[in-house]
Chains A and B, each alone.
Chain A
Amino acid sequence: DTEVTQTPKHLVMGMTNKKSLKCEQHMGHRAMYWYKQKAKKPPELMFVYSYEKLSINESVPSRFSPECPNSSLLNLHLHALQPEDSALYLCASSQETSGSYEQYFGPGTRLTVT
């Protein structure tokens, strides 16, 4: 089983709202990732967690706040977003952050900021 699940599938939020995206995997992977993907563009890395610790933050604005409560779960807390933050947010996981391990993506959350 190589499934990464994400909820919700779709989210519409206003610029003053606070919302969270959730990601879950039960493959025993110790690395988890958040990506942002705009239309007709490849995914852009936002954050990397390794063994539940944040290891990479790709200079993401503080209105995006990641959290890794345990090895299976990854959250992305959203606050005071801008319309240009509307995108497909993808979660991914891999066995480790180094070595020859494949990275598997979830189906994504389509976020619209109004």
Chain B
Amino acid sequence: GQQVMQIPQYQHVQEGEDFTTYCNSSTTLSNIQWYKQRPGGHPVFLIQLVKSGEVKKQKRLTFQFGEAKKNSSLHITATQTTDVGTYFCAYAQGGSEKLVFGKGTKLTVNP
């Protein structure tokens, strides 16, 4: 199946700075999901995007799905220490809807 590439792999920011992670596919995706995993924790669903050009916001988080449905981004405005963790994009593949995950972007926030 298709792979999704995430960049950057690591991101260190000062508290209050913005953060963006990108998810790219070589082929068109039917959907994209974003998950957050805190250190030592488990993935927690954040959102799903399905429409071309879709933009969704959750407080300081903004999610976008590209017009060609081949890329997506997660932007966090004014990061806080509670934003620390690894952010994964994933898509549900095939009839079983199994999730194919990117390798994630690990965010650290310096207070």
Q: Do A and B originate from a single complex?
A: no
Q: Contact residues of B with A, CB < 8 Å? A: none
